[in-house]
């Protein structure tokens, strides 16, 4: 039997204990999925030996998860709009269990890569969880709940670094994936038992051609971007991959515009508030990711360089961990700002705070505590802004497109993080100094340039957000109708 939605006869029970429990489950699930994104970073240098393969092949262990996650978010969101959100959340959690177990029981590259792809596909849990919050939480809890679930995306990635470094340092590397499997199993069980089964499906045909086209186009473009530094930006593989992907995406767009049940409604996406929010997501995603790439390297460079801070992998992870805590601490701040100032101002403020954190980092690199301070400022901005992005989207799209629209916004953020990885790598390899004969490392100025670029991206994202009309509200979005009205007629 389906559980009534907020506003029904059982609204008081759901709004008091039930809604909080649902949000807690969604937070745990989103955190567990996000954790997998940074799970292998501490052992990335050892993967060629651990998997008995080349460094080039081993790099796909990280890349495969990022690519699968980018594709999964919009596709999973659309499936959730069609069949309902709880079934998709349960399946996503189950996929994470399978993927984690595959990596935990094998040292074979093909098996581990398969498991990592499955872990990436589980990232679809996050946008669906955010869109479900808007349906099940009572009005007074919506902003707080959205902020909490959104923050776990960053928290999972930030806490994953020290946690996985500790596991890798003290146990067999497979322990990383046994840990992930345990969290995923808990996530799956709690999703089955505690998430409400609401009648939120909007029957339509699944656009399989659109899903395949989007996957081919995205993967091709992202592979070219992520591998550009290693292959060479003028290499035929890099250029061919990016150009082929762009051509496929253009053809995909033409097909989607003509499809009666498109995977992504490009007409809705082209509306100014949605379009500008997604552009800002790319820029802010870039800003968020840059510190995750540059700061750990600067912390781990030997002190003999004159600017390196000589920290171990575990120590570097621990210096980064408070950033994840800052994201969670600032989620309530984001909630209050959303209520008082709206999503537009909240997102812009968050992006400007991120930019300010990078400007702090430009001048404070002489000690680990200084980089900790800069990272905490950056992550405070992420905590403020993360909840505002999906809120802006949900305010401006119809309820039956909530999952796919939030998923597309997640994809845009992933595009930003992928581009950030490529740009940071290009800068750090272009400006180097000799540490020893035949050994080159990024120069101190290279790190500062990275911070300046990231600050500029985040600031530009803030400006783009301010271009969104103040009165922008979707004609049939939840902000206009209210949660109760938006789901009226679909209650059981």
Domain assignment of residue 117, yes or no: yes
SS3 108: coil
* Tens of pLDDT, residues 345-395: 999 999 999 999 999 999 988 899 999 999 999 989 988 887 788 888 888
Contacts of 301 (CB under 8 A, 6+ apart): 307, 308, 309, 310, 441, 442
250-255 contacts, C-beta under 8 A, 24 or more apart: 251/213, 252/210, 252/213, 252/214, 252/217, 255/209, 255/210, 255/213
Domain assignment of residue 288, yes or no: yes
Q: CA-CA distance, 241 to 238, in Å (whole number)?
A: 5
Query: pTM value?
Result: 0.80
Q: CA-CA distance, 455 to 397, in Å (whole number)?
A: 30
231-238 contacts, C-beta under 8 A, 24 or more apart: 233/426
Domain boundary, last residue among 243, 262, 281: 262
Report angle CA 426, 114, 125 to the nearest 5 degrees: 85
**230 class by beta-carbon count within 10 Å (0-12 exposed, 13-18 middle, 19+ buried):** middle
* Tens of pLDDT, residues 182-206: 999 999 999 999 888 776 666 777 8
Q: Looking at the structure, do residues 272 and 251 belong to the same domain, yes or no?
A: no
Domain with 225, as residue range(s), is: 207-262
CATH code assigned at 145: 1.20.1250.20
* Confidence (pLDDT) at 163: 79
Q: Looking at the structure, do residues 304 and 232 belong to the same domain, yes or no?
A: no
Domain assignment of residue 5, yes or no: no
Q: What is the mean pLDDT of residues 58-62?
A: 83
φ, ψ of residue 344 in degrees (nearest 5): -60, -50
pLDDT at 77 over 80: yes
Whether the CA torsion 206, 209, 211, 214 is positive or negative: it is negative
Domain assignment of residue 478, yes or no: yes
Q: Is residue 429 very low, low, confident or very high in pLDDT (cuts 50, 70, 90)?
A: confident
Contact 234, 224 (CB under 8 A): no
Nearest to 135 by CA among 73, 90, 198, 201: 198
* Tens of pLDDT, residues 143-165: 888 888 887 777 777 777 777 77
Domain assignment of residue 491, yes or no: no
Whether the CA torsion 362, 337, 11, 482 is positive or negative: it is negative
pLDDT at 7 over 50: no
Q: CA-CA distance, 184 to 360, in Å (whole number)?
A: 37
Q: CA-CA distance, 335 to 230, in Å (whole number)?
A: 41
Q: Looking at the structure, do residues 350 and 314 belong to the same domain, yes or no?
A: yes
Q: Looking at the structure, do residues 295 and 252 belong to the same domain, yes or no?
A: no
Q: CA-CA distance, 232 to 124, in Å (whole number)?
A: 31
Tokens 């969670």 found at: 328
- Calculate the alpha carbon distances from 225 to 230, 233, 418 in Å: 10, 9, 7
Read off the tokens for 339: 């209520």
* Tens of pLDDT, residues 465-492: 999 987 544 433 444 433 333 333 343 3
Q: Looking at the structure, do residues 233 and 180 belong to the same domain, yes or no?
A: no
Domain count within the chain: 2
């Amino acid at each position: 039997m389906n559980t009534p939605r907020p506003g029904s006869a059982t609204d008081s029970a759901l709004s008091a204990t039930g809604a909080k429990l649902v949000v807690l489950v969604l937070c745990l699930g989103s955190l567990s999925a996000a954790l997998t994104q940074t799970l292998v970073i501490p052992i990335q240098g050892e993967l060629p030996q651990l998997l008995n393969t080349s460094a080039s092949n081993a790099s796909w262990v990280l890349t495969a998860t990022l690519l699968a996650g980018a594709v999964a978010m919009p596709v999973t969101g659309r499936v959730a709009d069609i069949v309902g959100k709880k079934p998709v959340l349960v399946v996503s959690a189950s996929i994470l269990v399978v993927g984690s177990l595959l990596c935990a029981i094998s040292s074979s590259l093909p098996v581990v890569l398969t498991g990592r792809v499955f872990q990436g596909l589980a990232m679809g849990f996050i946008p669906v969880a955010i869109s479900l919050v808007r349906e099940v939480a009572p009005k007074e809890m919506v902003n707080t709940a959205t902020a909490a679930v959104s923050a776990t995306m960053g928290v999972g990635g930030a806490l994953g670094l020290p946690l996985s470094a500790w596991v890798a340092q003290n146990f067999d590397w497979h322990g990383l994936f046994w840990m992930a499997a345990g969290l995923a199993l808990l996530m799956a069980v709690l999703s089955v038992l505690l998430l409400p089964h609401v009648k939120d499906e909007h029957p339509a045909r699944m656009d399989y051609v659109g899903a395949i086209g989007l996957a081919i186009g995205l993967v091709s473009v992202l592979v070219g971007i992520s591998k550009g530094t290693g292959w060479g930006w003028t290499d035929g593989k890099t250029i061919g991959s990016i150009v082929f992907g762009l051509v496929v995406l253009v053809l995909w767009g033409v097909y989607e515009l003509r499809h009666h049940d498109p995977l992504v409604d490009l007409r809705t996406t082209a509306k100014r508030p949605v379009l500008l929010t997604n552009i800002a997501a790319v820029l802010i995603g870039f800003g968020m990711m840059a510190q995750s790439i540059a700061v750990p390297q600067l912390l781990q460079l030997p002190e003999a360089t004159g600017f390196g801070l000589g920290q171990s992998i575990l120590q570097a992870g621990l210096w980064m961990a408070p950033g994840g805590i800052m994201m969670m601490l600032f989620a309530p701040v984001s909630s209050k700002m959303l209520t008082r100032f709206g999503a537009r101002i909240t997102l812009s403020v968050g992006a400007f705070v991120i930019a300010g954190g990078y400007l702090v980092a430009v001048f404070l690199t002489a000690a680990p505590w200084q980089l900790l301070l800069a990272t905490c400022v950056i992550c405070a901005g992420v905590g403020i802004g993360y909840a505002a992005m999906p809120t802006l989207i949900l305010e401006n799209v119809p309820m039956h497109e909530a999952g796919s629209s939030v998923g597309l916004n997640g994809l845009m953020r992933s595009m930003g993080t992928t581009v950030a990885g490529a740009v940071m790598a290009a800068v750090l390899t272009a400006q180097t100094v000799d540490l020893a004969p035949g050994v080159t490392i990024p120069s101190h100025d290279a790190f500062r340039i990275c911070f300046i670029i990231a600050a500029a991206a985040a600031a530009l994202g803030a400006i783009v957000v301010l271009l969104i009309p103040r009165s922008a509200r979707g004609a049939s979005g939840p902000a206009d109708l209210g949660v109760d009205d938006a789901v009226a007629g679909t209650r059981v």
